[in-house]
Chain A
């Protein structure tokens, strides 16, 4: 029974439910409608970045640059759309123009990462770490480290109203889920994560697929940036600085392997949900930022332990 539970792929979802049920009676406001909407709205942007990361991780890579992509996309999009001397300030195209600019930023950063990794065979860790440092510096330089306000409501509503964001993210989740589990591209991503050499010899266009995963990750980061920026109703060059741990944590808690070849979009959904619950409940309990960090670190280690126990069980 315990063994079956640990082996189940719904384990994290179940843990989330148990956690919620256990804490709800003691944590004031945890189960209130308002707070649930709160949890949801903090989940959505994280989920969007994490899904892109899931693609990259399954293919055996890693993308550390997403946090900086979020920041750069935020300030670039805002400088297009803002009413304070934005490029399209006051224009009815301000919102679509801003969004387009943000997605462009994501695609550009992703393409750069992908190209460096596939063309010059550099290790993803180094490439994306360097990109992260460069891009976040660039975002700060661009804005002289100031935030940008006065964004059009048509823009901010995407991130500030859960009921607008939810259907959009839900559709994106489904698309990415099916892309990974049902399409040719998805199968290729897994194969590359398992064994790049074997995939290449089998005729898989390894470089193109890898390039795609990094572009997808960049685009996801940009999309998440739309949500974050909307939620804050302002753009900031340090946006997303603290989410790297949550991001990798959520995907790994979900069960996606850092070694490649293993993972699912749905697992990432569960992982993000779990982390969002923990984050939210600890906040409600009025714990300090540092305590929350420590607690989250512990939870991620625990999840990783469960994962390795699970692998052992599955293999014996």
Chain B
């Protein structure tokens, strides 16, 4: 590997947390103007390595060299000054500020000689940066009204504003729609052509193969493989990552939907959110919902779980009408809701793994009437549970969830619902951030839940996942069900068409149009 100069060299980098080595003698190079893919199982150490590069952690041993010079950032500001930009797994923008304010948060252009912000310059520079990343939104728009994909573009614009020479992407596509992903990939190619180097972390190996020049595989903190993309294959990468080969991505579906209706939705409408939604979810059925972000899929899930109101229509759980469901009532009646954003709504990040896993089913561990928690029984259940979701062996249950890798955090959210033995699951992006091996485990788990009688509703941006898992798929568009497809007729093109088809000629949905119009706010 020596065709172009090396911008970055990792040399025997090591890092331990609480005496556990999570990075062991990591050594590899990044060539200028290329993209390197960093892959590995959950907890392999990918984010930790990048946190070292980004100045968030310091290595216990080893060196990083940038263009041959020693590089040891003490904090994220150091890293930014050296030209390293980090687009985090969990995005890091201030949602109450505008796009322009976010981009220039540390480097506001000043009026010469005065401690005042040069508003005009800010606006102009922000606009030119947004043009470069292909985001046609007014820079004075607040970030909270942007979709995940657009936020990512803002992060990249921010990186460009700092003259980044190296951009790190930590699972950038895990919350993007197919369309947004395509746009991101185009942008990455343009940036690379401009000589910017990238490190790209993802569990979507096909993306990594498509995008990167070289691929480095980490396993348990060790580099177990590095090669040119052209000289490897997805199958090879997987076997390097997990230490065995996986020949099937989706487990065989054993059960079939039963006749009993678990969850029935009739003509459900909430103005501006969803319209005339009607479907039945049966016991033992896995029902998928596909659609673009903003098509109302997650909003529908929130309504079904009693988090948001609905104006007209009916929601029936096992035949019982729930005119005004509350989350508490839903949980008690045996529903589970895995939300799409684990940090805001899924987990108590500072609390321990055990506390998080126990949260939903605590009442089941309280003595009758006494409300006294039976900690002995609880901890036995938790030990069994961590095995069931294959939580990383190195984690202690008393450890804060924050210290887990992203994928393992997702497993904790799954675990906390499983413990309550629900019979209706609403899973919004259940495998977000989970590695290929663990994905298979999660799919098997979902299959088993269904064949044991549970009804499962999966919302996913990954069409393959829905095709691989579901008995039936609903395609949502602009708050409505645009298409219903049964298993024998599954077809990627048809799903995409259903999700994208426009009644008007505009490119964006009405929701988005409203949002992009700066003067209407």
Contacts and interface: CB of A to CB of B under 8 A. Distances in A.
B327 A201 contact: yes
Interface in B335-375: 337, 339, 344-351, 355, 358-360, 362-363, 366, 371-373, 375
Given A202-B416, A203-B328, A187 B358 contact: yes
B337 A197 contact: no
A182 interface: yes
Interface string A191-230: 1001101111111110000000000000000000000000
Contacts of A203: 327-328, 330-332, 360
B348 A201 contact: no
A205 B366 CA distance: 15
B305 interface: yes
A261 B350 contact: yes
Interface in A101-159: none
Interface residues of B, number: 29
B332 A194 contact: no
A171 interface: no
A200 B328 CA distance: 7
A202 B359 CA distance: 7
A190 interface: yes
A182 B359 CA distance: 14
A183 interface: yes
Contacts of A185: 371
A195 B348 contact: yes
Sort chain A's interface into a size bin.
20 to 34
A301 B297 CA distance: 49
Contacts of B358: 187
A202 B349 contact: no
B307 interface: yes
Given A187-B362, A203-B331, A205-B328, A182 B373 contact: yes
A197 B332 contact: no
B154 to A, nearest CB: 24
Contacts of B327: 200-203
A30 interface: no
B331 A202 contact: yes
Given A201-B327, A205-B328, A195 B355 contact: no
A197 B343 CA distance: 10
A199 to B, nearest CB: 7
- Of B307, B337, B355, B371, the most chain A CB neighbours within 10 A belong to B371
A188 B362 contact: yes
Contacts of A296: none
Contact of A191 (B332, B355, B363, B366): B355
B359 A191 contact: yes
A177 interface: no
B351 A201 contact: no
Interface string B149-192: 00000000000000000000000000000000000000000000
A184 interface: yes
A262 interface: yes
A100 B331 CA distance: 38
Interface in A263-304: none
- Of A182, A187, A200, the most chain B CB neighbours within 10 A belong to A187
A201 B345 contact: yes
Interface string A167-191: 0000000000000001111011011
Contacts of A201: 305, 307, 327, 337, 339, 345-346
Contacts of B350: 194, 261-262
Contacts of B331: 202-203
Interface in A18-51: none
A183 B363 CA distance: 10
Contacts of A191: 348, 351, 355, 359
Contacts of A184: 362-363, 366, 371-373
A199 B416 CA distance: 12
A190 B351 contact: yes
Contacts of B307: 200-201
Contacts of A197: 344-345
A190 B305 contact: no
Contacts of B372: 182-184
A197 B339 CA distance: 11
A65 to B, nearest CB: 27
Given A184-B366, A187-B358, A204 B373 contact: no
B292 to A, nearest CB: 24
Given A184-B373, A191-B348, A194-B348, A202 B360 contact: yes
Nearest to A183: B371
B102 to A, nearest CB: 23
Contacts of B332: 203
Contacts of A182: 372-373, 375
Contacts of B344: 195, 197-198
A183 B366 contact: yes
Interface in B412-466: 416
B348 A187 contact: no
Contacts of B416: 202
Contact of A195 (B305, B349, B366, B373): B349
B355 A187 contact: yes
A197 B346 CA distance: 8
A182 B350 CA distance: 19
Contacts of A200: 307, 327-328
Nearest to A188: B362
A261 B327 CA distance: 21
- Of B331, B345, B372, the most chain A CB neighbours within 10 A belong to B345
Contacts of B371: 183-185
Interface in B293-312: 305, 307
Interface in B446-495: none
Contacts of A262: 350
A184 B344 CA distance: 23
Contacts of B330: 203
A178 to B, nearest CB: 8
A262 B330 CA distance: 28
B322 to A, nearest CB: 15
B358 to A, nearest CB: 7
Contacts of B360: 202-203
Contacts of B373: 182-184, 187
A200 B306 CA distance: 10
A31 B21 CA distance: 51
A50 to B, nearest CB: 23
A118 to B, nearest CB: 14
A117 B143 CA distance: 28
B410 to A, nearest CB: 14
B351 A261 contact: yes
B359 A204 contact: yes
A182 B374 CA distance: 8
Nearest to B331: A203
A201 B359 CA distance: 10
B132 to A, nearest CB: 35
Nearest to B18: A316
B347 A198 contact: yes
A191 to B, nearest CB: 6
A57 to B, nearest CB: 15
Interface in B193-249: none
Given A190-B355, A194-B351, 4 more contacts: A183-B366, A184-B363, A191-B348, A203-B330
6 contacts: A182-B373, A184-B371, A187-B358, A188-B362, A191-B348, A261-B351
The 7 closest A-B pairs by CB, nearest first: A203-B331, A194-B348, A184-B371, A184-B366, A195-B348, A202-B360, A202-B359
